[in-house]
């Protein structure tokens, strides 16, 4: 084989190595950029998501242990007690929607620095949507109580999102004024099943409180919630 041919072969091989090396480098760089973007986005919305999770956990505890739903039988407090409770769920759905956007869920679940928060949000969403708990008839999944389907969670989250710069959630006043027209179709079944007698013993709410506590721990890197 002539020196010219050998040189051409070597040059071609080197070119391939360089090309594939660049592809691999570009792939790693893009992955790192995506991971960095996920971490930065979580840091941007960490505090409002923490506030929403802590607020819902507090209301969950009040329902389970402090008789909060007794206010549903007090005419002058009934609507505020109901809408205040639903608003705390809506806030969590809203900030989750803002955090994930349309395409970011898998990115958050795969990056090691955001995975724990993504896993906690996934477990909360799954718990609220599953029909295996809180059944009045164990053999009949349609008798499950206090269930909010994924589609309902997503719809509520989308309605809560205010497309400002940066995005934010509706205030309680805005939520309350819009509830009957916009939110009630998605909360109707859940709201109707909130009962002062039976809800405090809900298996779903007990597990929800545990999962929310875990989410708060993952989010509270600055020890805001003591």
| pLDDT tens by residue, 107-148 | 666 667 788 898 999 999 999 999 999 999 999 999 999 999
Q: What is the pLDDT of residue 154?
A: 95
Mean pLDDT of 83-97: 97
Any residues with CB less than 8 A from the CB of 144 and at least 6 apart, and which?
Answer: 131, 132, 133, 134, 135
Q: What is the pLDDT of residue 225?
A: 62
Ranges of H-type helices in 130-169 = 150-160
**Higher local confidence (pLDDT), 3 or 34:** 3
Longest Cα–Cα distance of the chain, Å, equals 98
Q: What is the pLDDT of residue 218?
A: 92
Q: What is the pLDDT of residue 156?
A: 98
Share of the chain above pLDDT 90, in %: 66
């Amino acid at each position: 084989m002539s020196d010219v041919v050998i040189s051409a072969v070597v040059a071609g091989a080197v070119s391939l190595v360089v090309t594939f090396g660049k592809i691999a480098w570009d792939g790693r760089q893009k992955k790192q950029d995506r991971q960095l973007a996920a971490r930065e986005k979580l840091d941007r919305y960490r505090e409002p998501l923490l506030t929403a999770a802590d607020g819902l956990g507090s209301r969950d505890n009040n329902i389970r242990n402090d008789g909060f739903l007794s206010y549903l039988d007090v005419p002058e407090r009934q609507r505020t007690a109901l809408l205040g409770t639903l608003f705390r769920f809506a806030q969590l759905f809203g900030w989750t929607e803002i955090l994930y956007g349309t395409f970011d869920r898998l990115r958050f679940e795969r990056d090691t620095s955001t995975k724990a928060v993504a896993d906690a949000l996934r477990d909360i969403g799954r718990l609220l949507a599953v029909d295996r708990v809180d059944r009045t008839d164990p053999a009949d999944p349609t008798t499950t109580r206090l269930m909010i389907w994924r589609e309902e969670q997503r719809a509520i989250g989308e309605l809560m999102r205010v497309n400002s710069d940066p995005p934010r959630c509706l205030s309680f006043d805005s939520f309350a004024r819009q509830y009957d027209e916009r939110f009630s179709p998605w909360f109707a079944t859940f709201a109707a099943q909130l009962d002062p007698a039976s809800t405090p013993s809900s298996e779903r709410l007990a597990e929800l409180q545990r999962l929310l506590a875990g989410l708060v721990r993952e989010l509270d890197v600055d020890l805001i919630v003591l």
